[in-house]
Amino acid sequence: MAEDLVLDTAIRDWVLIPLSVVMVLIGVLRYFVSKLMRSYQTPDPKIVKEGQVILRARNLKSAANFIPPKSFRARRIYLCNEENGLLHVPKGQAQNAQAQMFSDPNMAMDMMKKNLSMIIPQTLTFAWVNFFFSGFVAAKIPFPLTQRFRSMLQNGIDLSTVDVSYVSSRSWYFLNLFGLRGLFSLILGEENAMDDTQRMMQMGGFGMDPTRSLGAEKDNLDIIQHDWVLSKFEQRAEATLRKLVKQ
């Protein structure tokens, strides 16, 4: 390190600590707000039915080896045949369903709500941080980094002479945004596990497509090799009993 900067302790007391505390509090607040805003919408019968079919197909896939081969084959044919199998989607219908999803106002509304609860507090905090704390060197990372991280860590100060490990207040905000997930999952429980980064990814995907997952389940079922495990259970039962009798 070339030279150590001398930072005022007031920065610590009035920038670093308040910023972090506020980040935590906002995270907690957002959790409760999104909990309140969560709406229950009555689902479409067709979607419910498809969901149930998928569930059943998944059960069949994961526990296939527990039922006799004949029963398994019957079920597979029932679900996968090309004429009227439940998982079989006629070709024309596939696009139709997606178009319908886009036009469904309820869906879009729900999506909006979800995103709003994420975007609004985020922009507000960011604006707040920008307004109050722009241009501070607020923190220092205790390990050396290469020059490439300069734009990431010193967002908001344009000095190329400062050591890279110093962090501007705005970048400290970003670090908090991504690093506090662990703390949130501790204090808010598992439900919060879906963090911002994941949500952003989801936005790109715009929900899931039920017809596609129907097809995927069908493919999965088609390639399953049925191997009845029950005969092995006889040996296992023998072993269990032998142990029991010996006691």
Partner 1 sequence: MVSKSEEEQLNRLESQVENGGGGAWEYLCLIRKLKIRRSDNVLKYGLTILNDPKKRSSIGNDEWTLYEQVAIAALDCHSYDVAKDCIKVLRKKFPESKRIARLEAMLLEAKGLWEEADKAYSSLLEDNPLDQATHKRRVAMAKAEGDILKAVEWLNKYLEIFMADHEAWRELAEIYVSLQMYKQAAFCYEELILSQPTVPLYHLSYADVLYTLGGLENLQTAKKYYASTIDLTGGKNTRALYGTCLCASAIAQLTKGGRNREDKENQDLHSLAVTALEKDYKKRAPSKLPLLTSTLRSLKLSS
Partner 2 sequence: MAGGDAFEKKFNEVSNDIPIFNAENIQNNMKIIYYSRTFLSIVGGVIAGILGFTGFAGFVLYFLVMAVTSVGLIAKAKFSVQSYFDSWNRVILDGFLGGLMSFVLFWTFAYDIVHIF
Residues that bind partner 1 (CB under 8 A): 42-43, 45, 48-49, 52-53, 55-56, 59-60, 62-64, 66-68, 71, 230-231, 233-238, 240-245
Least distance in Å: CB of 176 to partner 2?
Answer: 7
Q: How far is CA 169 from CA 20, 123, 153, in A?
A: 10, 16, 9
Among 58, 113, 181, 199, binds partner 2 (CB under 8 A): 181
Q: Does 132 bind partner 2 (CB under 8 A)?
A: no
Look at residue 231 and give the partner it binds from partner 2, partner 1, none, a contact being a CB closer than 5 to 8 Å depending on partner kind: partner 1
- What's the length of the chain? 247
Look at residue 203 and give the partner it binds from partner 1, partner 2, none, a contact being a CB closer than 5 to 8 Å depending on partner kind: none
Of 31 and 78, which has the nearer Cβ to partner 1?
78
Look at residue 212 and give the partner it binds from partner 2, partner 1, none, a contact being a CB closer than 5 to 8 Å depending on partner kind: none
Among 98, 122, 155, 185, binds partner 2 (CB under 8 A): 185
Of 18 and 68, which has the nearer Cβ to partner 1?
68
Look at residue 139 and give the partner it binds from partner 1, partner 2, none, a contact being a CB closer than 5 to 8 Å depending on partner kind: partner 2
Q: Are 25 and 33 in contact (CB under 8 A)?
A: no
> Per residue in 175-193, is it b (16+ CB within 10 Å) or e — as a string?
bbbeebbeebeeebeeebe
Of 53 and 167, which has the nearer Cβ to partner 1?
53
Q: Are 153 and 168 in contact (CB under 8 A)?
A: yes
Q: Does 204 bind partner 2 (CB under 8 A)?
A: no
Least distance in Å: CB of 122 to partner 2?
Answer: 18
Stretch that binds partner 2, among 26-34, 80-88, 136-144, 214-222 (CB under 8 A): 136-144
Residue 216 structure tokens: 């995927």
